């Protein structure tokens, strides 16, 4: 290999999961020739390799070791302050035609984009190590599982990928040496972490991703949003399955009857928290278990939808996490966790806004500056994250490794809406549910750069993640419905409705069990409901509120359909569909008319 010296680093016996596939070897050779790394490190995902990489990262200040007694085997990473969230404006879907990417994606012509990226990558890894990360998405024995390779010049990426995916030999074995095998090619280089050169480019037709100029999770852990959702959704359409921005949870009654639900909420709108819900005392004997907290891949089996979680860990929002709000998350991140952009206390512990107990008298904030409770700045970045293995979760579902996945009884769509949208309602049928998902909206959050708190339409919570034309995506959902003989019921929820005082009306978190219970009752055909123009609504007595201190006025407000607000909402649905330039399927336009007609009755 031209100008690439044989690997003297890593030491013998560490990092050697070289594939038999000539296609992978050729690709690695091509990228190494272009980027000119000092050496190539084939990652095997072993414990020994991980220890070696952590030791190197500590030496280079990529990681800070946390107090071993307080948070065993855990570390803190501080990113560049200009690189703390996904960048939707620099994210591209490079299909052969603009039409292929559709009206909701930034499009860039593939030929020109490859040329531009090759220019940026030329010599980009000079003096650096090039890591090759083989990984699979999904349980090792699942038919839905897919292979990916990520090339990166960031140790932080490798350390995260080891937690977030199943890495190493397992991927090399699954791929084998079939030259036509399907696998994802991901190339990542930090370059100089300059926002001017930051771009995250997807080539669905080539099953390829190139990401440059960032070190932030969602931009660089190419397995996650880039492969499992953007490329994944494209593959899902051509192959007849679904790749969705959804948590998957199991809910078991005291009698042992179990249901699984999948729920799509936009970024930082409550997926991880819902997936780890602990039922309140009143629900004695009920158990909620986590299959996944961010992404669901779903296939049709026996006329039903079955879901797997393609990931192996959680990349979760830290601020607001406490023993009060989410004890399972707190236990999950108490050890073997990689923290990004939280505050460091003087005794080597981590701290963030919303953690239990009083704030520390002094800390180092996420930027590395001194911080005290009197400081105006936040100690932790609002999009600070934890990366933790799913096996740390005390509520992990026993069927998380099941190859066929878990059968889905209900699909839930939820956004962050201060008004208009009630706590919970049920769609009239599959197509109405697709309309509900397609028109959902949410206030923007710190998970992506840009304004926070702005209401925007975010169909199925996939606006930033659908790797092809959104009109075709809607049609794909409608088509899937036609193939299901036992479709899941579809619901809308909103944990974030506010009262006149600007406070949340609903306590949320564990109390969301009450809403989940109604959803399960509906699936069991035992739950009562009233028909409204937007679908089935629970009556006040259909939701079990025992043991909850919440006055009746709040519940009335939470379930209220304000016709004036909904008239505005219908106009916004129409504006949104119109803005898509004629790609919306006829069946959804029909749903829109029927909804308006129900309001007019
Ligand atoms: P991503 O990882 O970005 O996809 O986010 P997510 O959808 O998993 O959201 P997460 O569960 O991490 O929650 C994001 C924020 O919403 C946190 O600050 C939570 O504290 C808050 N949150 C989650 N659930 C609730 C709820 O039921 N009620 C209220 N009021 N806030 C919630
Ligand atoms: C999201 O933004 O939806 C996340 C975090 O789950 S990231 O992986 O950064 O996209
Ligand atoms: Mn997410």
**534-583 pLDDT, tens per residue?**
999 999 999 999 999 998 899 999 999 999 999 999 999 999 999 999 99
Q: What is the mean pLDDT of the chain?
A: 95
| Closest to 318 (Cα-Cα) out of 359, 293, 350 | 350
The H or E element containing residue 514 is helix 513-523
How is the beta sheet containing 258-264 ordered, strand by strand?
287-292, 246-252, 258-264, 410-414, 489-493, 424-426, 535-537, 530-532
The first and second tokens of residue 461, run together, are 């919570």
| Å from CA of 218 to ligand 2 middle | 5
Has residue 7 got a pLDDT over 90? no
Q: Whose CA is nearest to atom 8 of ligand 2?
A: 218
CB 447 within 8 A of CB 218: yes
**245-266 pLDDT, tens per residue?**
999 999 999 999 999 999 999 9
Question: DSSP code of 419?
Answer: S
Quote the pLDDT of residue 2. Answer: 39
Q: Whose CA is nearest to atom 7 of ligand 2?
A: 218
Residue of 218, 296, 320 to test ligand 1 pocket, by largest number of atoms within 8 Å of CB: 320
**578-588 pLDDT, tens per residue?**
999 999 999 99
Long-range contacts of residues 450-459, Cβ cutoff 8 Å, at least 24 apart: 450/88, 450/89, 452/382, 455/417, 457/572, 457/576, 458/266, 458/415, 459/104
**151-204 pLDDT, tens per residue?**
999 999 999 999 999 999 999 999 998 889 999 999 999 999 999 999 999 999
| Å from CA of 34 to ligand 3 middle | 32
With a pLDDT cut of 90, the percent of the chain lying above it is 94
* Local structure of 407: helix, strand or coil: strand
**For residues 555 and 515, what is the distance between their CA atoms, to the nearest angstrom?**
12
CA dihedral of residues 216, 243, 253, 535 (deg, nearest 10): 110
Average pLDDT of the residues in 485-513: 97
Question: DSSP code of 229?
Answer: I
| Å from CA of 321 to ligand 1 middle | 9
Q: Which residues line ligand 1 (CB under 6 A)?
A: 265, 267-273, 293-294, 316-317, 319-320, 325, 447, 495-496, 504, 508-509, 512
Q: Among the options 94, 201, 226, 269, which is catalytic?
A: 269
| Å from CA of 126 to ligand 3 middle | 33
Known catalytic residue at 201: no
Using CB atoms within 10 Å of the CB of residue 346, give its burial: 0 to 12 exposed, 13 to 18 middle, 19+ buried. exposed
**For residues 138 and 234, what is the distance between their CA atoms, to the nearest angstrom?**
17
**Predicted confidence band at 19 (pLDDT cuts at 50, 70, 90)?**
confident
Has residue 17 got a pLDDT over 80? no
Quote the pLDDT of residue 18. Answer: 76
Has residue 60 got a pLDDT over 60? yes
Q: Whose CA is nearest to atom 15 of ligand 1?
A: 268
Q: Whose CA is nearest to atom 23 of ligand 1?
A: 270
Chain centre distance of CA 339: 17
């Amino acid at each position: 290999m031209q100008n690439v010296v044989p690997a003297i680093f890593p030491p013998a016996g560490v990092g050697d999961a070289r594939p038999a596939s000539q296609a992978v070897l050729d690709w690695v050779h091509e990228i190494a020739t272009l980027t000119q790394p000092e050496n190539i490190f084939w990652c095997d995902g072993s414990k020994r390799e991980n220890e070696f990489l952590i030791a190197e990262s500590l030496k280079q200040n990529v990681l800070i070791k946390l107090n071993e007694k307080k948070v065993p085997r855990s570390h803190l990473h501080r990113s560049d302050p200009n690189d703390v969230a996904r960048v939707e404006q620099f994210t591209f879907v490079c299909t052969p035609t603009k039409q292929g990417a559709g009206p909701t994606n930034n499009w860039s012509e593939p030929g020109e984009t490859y040329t531009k990226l090759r220019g940026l990558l030329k010599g980009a890894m000079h003096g650096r190590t090039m890591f090759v990360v083989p990984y699979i998405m999904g349980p090792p024995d699942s038919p839905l599982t897919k292979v990916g390779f990520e090339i990166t010049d960031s140790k932080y990426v490798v350390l995260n990928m080891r937690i977030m995916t199943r890495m190493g030999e397992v991927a090399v074995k699954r791929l084998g040496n079939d030259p036509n095998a399907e696998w994802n090619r991901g190339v990542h280089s930090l370059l100089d972490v300059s926002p001017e050169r930051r771009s995250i480019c997807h080539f669905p037709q080539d099953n390829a991703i190139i990401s440059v100029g960032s070190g932030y999770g969602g931009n660089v852990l190419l397995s996650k949003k880039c492969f499992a959702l953007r490329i994944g959704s494209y593959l899902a359409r051509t192959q007849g399955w679904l790749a969705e921005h959804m948590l998957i949870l199991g809910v078991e009654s005291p009698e042992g009857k179990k249901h699984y639900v999948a729920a799509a909420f936009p970024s930082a709108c409550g997926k991880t928290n819902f997936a780890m819900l602990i039922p309140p005392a009143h629900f004695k004997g009920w158990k909620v278990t986590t299959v996944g907290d961010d992404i669901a891949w779903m296939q049709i089996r026996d006329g039903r939808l079955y879901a797997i979680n393609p990931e192996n860990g959680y990349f979760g929002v830290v601020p607001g996490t406490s023993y009060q709000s989410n004890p399972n998350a707190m236990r999950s991140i108490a050890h073997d966790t990689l923290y990004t952009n939280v505050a460091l206390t003087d005794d080597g512990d981590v701290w963030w806004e919303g953690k239990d107990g009083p704030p520390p008298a002094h800390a180092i904030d996420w930027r590395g500056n001194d911080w005290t409770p009197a400081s105006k700045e936040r100690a932790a970045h609002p999009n600070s994250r934890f990366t933790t293995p799913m096996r740390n979760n005390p509520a992990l579902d026993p069927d998380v490794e099941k190859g066929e996945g878990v059968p889905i009884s209900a699909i839930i769509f939820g956004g962050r809406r201060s008004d208009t949208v009630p706590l919970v309602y049920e769609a009239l049928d599959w197509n109405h549910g697709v309309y509900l998902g397609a028109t959902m909206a949410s206030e923007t959050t710190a998970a992506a750069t840009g304004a926070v708190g702005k209401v925007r339409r975010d169909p199925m919570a996939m606006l930033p993640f659908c790797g092809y034309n959104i009109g075709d995506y809607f049609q794909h959902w409608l088509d899937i419905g036609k193939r299901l003989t036992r479709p899941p019921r579809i619901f809308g929820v909103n944990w974030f409705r506010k009262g006149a005082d600007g406070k949340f009306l609903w306590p949320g978190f564990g109390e969301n069990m009450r809403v989940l219970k109604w959803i399960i009752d509906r699936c069991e055909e035992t739950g009562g409901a009233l028909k409204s123009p937007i679908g089935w609504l629970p009556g006040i007595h259909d939701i079990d509120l025992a043991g909850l201190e919440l006055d009746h006025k709040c519940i009335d407000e939470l379930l209220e359909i304000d016709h004036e607000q909904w008239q505005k909402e219908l106009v916004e649905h129409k504006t949104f569909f119109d803005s898509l330039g004629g790609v919306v399927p006829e069946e959804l336009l029909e749903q829109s008319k029927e909804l308006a007609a129900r309001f007019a009755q």
